[in-house]
């Protein structure tokens, strides 16, 4: 719905608008929306390997949409996502006031089913897990540091971008494997290292 609103108000396709208003200003020179035929033939684009009921993994390009949607599926690199983080935090993409509004916590996320979570990685045992939903990302308190980011994925893909505003660090993890039960272990390890 938001993608359709962007296209209607801007008078451009959603893809062109994002290229002009996000990718270019952020210096994301290797990021774009690619079609499935491009995905098949471009050797720079990793293929997605999704878990199968047999326990193995299989290339799932042909199960994906023809082109990404406003909900995601742009193709990028770690370097370009680091540039995006710098542009977002440096108020290149939004005025400073709107950057603060976008990246500040609004409400606690809804409780997840199951037992209550333990302390966040790098947190003090017994300390509460403090997290808030922002306009898009989630911000959480880990080891007395705020960490703001977003992770996601689809069958055969997993992504994670975390910004550490107190120290200036950014972690970007992209994978062409999907993971059950939360983020890949490398995401947790990176957060442990950066908040130690």
In a domain, 24, yes or no: no
Identify whether 26 is part of a domain. Answer: no
Q: CA angle, 100 as apex, 90 and 195 as ends, to 5°?
A: 75
pLDDT at 129: 59
Determine the distance from the C-alpha atom of residue 100 to the mean position of all C-alpha atoms in its chain, rounded to a whole number. 18
Residue 123 clears pLDDT 60, i.e. is over it: no
Question: Are residues 59 and 177 in contact, defined by beta-carbon separation less than 8 angstroms?
Answer: no
Q: Is residue 40 in a domain?
A: no
Whether 85 is covered by a domain: the verdict is: yes
Residue 88 lies in a domain: yes
Question: What's the domain count of the chain?
Answer: 1
Cα Rg of the chain, angstroms: 18
Q: Which domain holds residue 154?
A: 77-196
Domain holding 156: CATH number?
3.40.710.10
Q: Are 99 and 177 in contact (CB under 8 A)?
A: no
Q: What is the pLDDT of residues 8-66, one digit of tens each?
A: 999 999 999 999 999 999 999 999 999 999 999 999 999 999 999 998 999 999 998 89
Residue 175 lies in a domain: yes
pLDDT at position 49 is: 94
pLDDT given for residue 180 in this prediction: 73
């Amino acid at each position: 719905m938001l993608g359709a609103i962007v296209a209607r108000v801007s008078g451009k396709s959603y893809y062109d608008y994002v290229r002009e208003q996000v990718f270019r200003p952020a210096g994301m020179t290797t990021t774009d929306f690619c079609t499935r035929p491009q995905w098949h033939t471009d050797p720079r684009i990793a293929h997605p390997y999704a878990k199968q009921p047999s326990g193995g993994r299989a290339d799932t390009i042909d199960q994906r949409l023809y082109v990404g949607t406003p909900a995601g599926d742009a193709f990028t690199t770690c370097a370009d996502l680091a540039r995006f983080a710098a542009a977002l935090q440096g108020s290149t993409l939004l005025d400073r006031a709107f950057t603060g509004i976008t990246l500040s916590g609004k409400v606690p996320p809804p409780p997840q089913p199951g037992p209550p979570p333990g302390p966040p990685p790098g947190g003090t045992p017994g300390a509460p897990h403090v997290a808030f939903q922002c306009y898009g990302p989630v911000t959480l308190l880990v080891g007395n540091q705020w960490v703001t980011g977003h992770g996601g994925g689809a069958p055969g893909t997993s992504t994670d971008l975390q910004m550490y505003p107190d120290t200036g660090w950014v972690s970007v993890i992209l994978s062409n494997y999907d993971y059950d039960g939360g983020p890949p272990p490398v995401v947790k390890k990176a957060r442990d290292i950066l908040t130690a």
